[in-house]
Amino acid sequence: MKVIETLDELRAQIQDWKTAGLKVGFVPTMGNLHAGHISLVDFAKQSADKVVVSVFVNPMQFGPSEDLDKYPRTFEQDVEKLSAAETDVLFFPSVALMYPKGMSQTRVCVPEHLTGLLEGATRPGHFDGVTTVVTKLFNMVQPDVAVFGQKDYQQLQVIKSMVEDLAMPITIITAPIGRDVDGLALSSRNQYLSAAQRQVAPKLFVVLNDLALALKSGNSNVAALEATAIQQLLAEGFDAVDYVSVVDAQHLMALTETQIQQKLAQKQPCLVILAVARLGNSRLLDNILIN
């Protein structure tokens, strides 16, 4: 595996591959890698001849109440994991390379109907930081395909919308949520859970599954189902619940009972249950697609 830190070297490598007719896959990350990230690399390898993984802790997507300095940097371990996964290039840009003008630069903003709710409501400006850095990385790597995980579902839909709206010649591939044996979604945040909290954490997936089963059985009273799920999570030992929301799988819009019933009659994925629950200082995200 080659570690590249400059744009000139990266572009030279990409040009060599493209001249040879090779398809380039890309997986953007912020490092602190776990098995879920490596599964994204595996997905990219299935769809491309060469795979680039970026590790960049993006300051633009951190809010004023979020501690950028405390975000784990585990570069040496990340290199070992990516090398073992047979990644072709690890792109490790500096903040100076990504933002030579500082934060006061051109930004990419996706419409508020996708970014002003759920995660966007609790983390103002977060998605502008995500779309800006992903656009820059896309321009640098020039991939044919890029892989994003389903776990950060709202981010996935924001990226898909941006790629479509800006006519970017990139295919976005969705990798399913990687889970531990007890159902807990793999996340860098899991390492901060105490032993007692780790016992509670898998209940998030259990409660979401119960909600999904209720929907599939014909219960379309979404407000009541969401309220029940929140009560169950608090009863199971979660400290707080930011949201449990049943929304349209593509547009993330809230739906009426009639719309829910109509969508459940479809055969394609049409609804998604999104949730964030807190244990101590850890925010745990999870989601389930319906149908």
Measured in degrees and rounded to the nearest 5, phi and psi for residue 8 equal -60, -45
**17 CB neighbour count, 10 Å cutoff:** 19
Q: Is 125 flagged in the annotation as binding?
A: no
Is 7 assigned a ligand-binding role in the annotation? no
The answer to whether 105 is annotated as binding is no
| Residue 186 labeled ligand binder | yes
User: 178 a known binding residue?
Assistant: yes
DSSP 101-156: TTTSS------HHHHSSTHHHHSTTHHHHHHHHHHHHHHHH--SEEEEESSSHHHH
Please name the residue ranges forming H helices in the chain. 7-19, 35-47, 75-84, 95-98, 112-115, 119-122, 126-141, 153-165, 195-200, 203-216, 222-236, 257-264
36 annotated among ligand-binding-site residues:
yes
Is 188 assigned a ligand-binding role in the annotation?
yes
- Does the annotation flag 30 for ligand binding? yes
Instruction: Please indicate if the annotation marks 129 as binding a ligand.
Output: no
Query: Taking the CA atoms of the chain, what radius of gyration do you get in angstroms?
Result: 20
* Active centre residues (catalytic): 37
b/e map 239-256, b = 16+ CB within 10 Å: eebbebbbbbbeebeebe
State which amino acid sits at residue 278.
Answer: R
Annotated binding-site residue? 81: no
Q: Would you say 34 is a known binding-site residue?
A: yes
* Binding site residue list for ATP: 30-37, 149-152, 178, 186-189
* Binding site residue list: 30-37, 61, 149-152, 155, 178, 186-189
* Binding site residue list for beta-alanine: 61
* Binding site residue list for (R)-pantoate: 61, 155
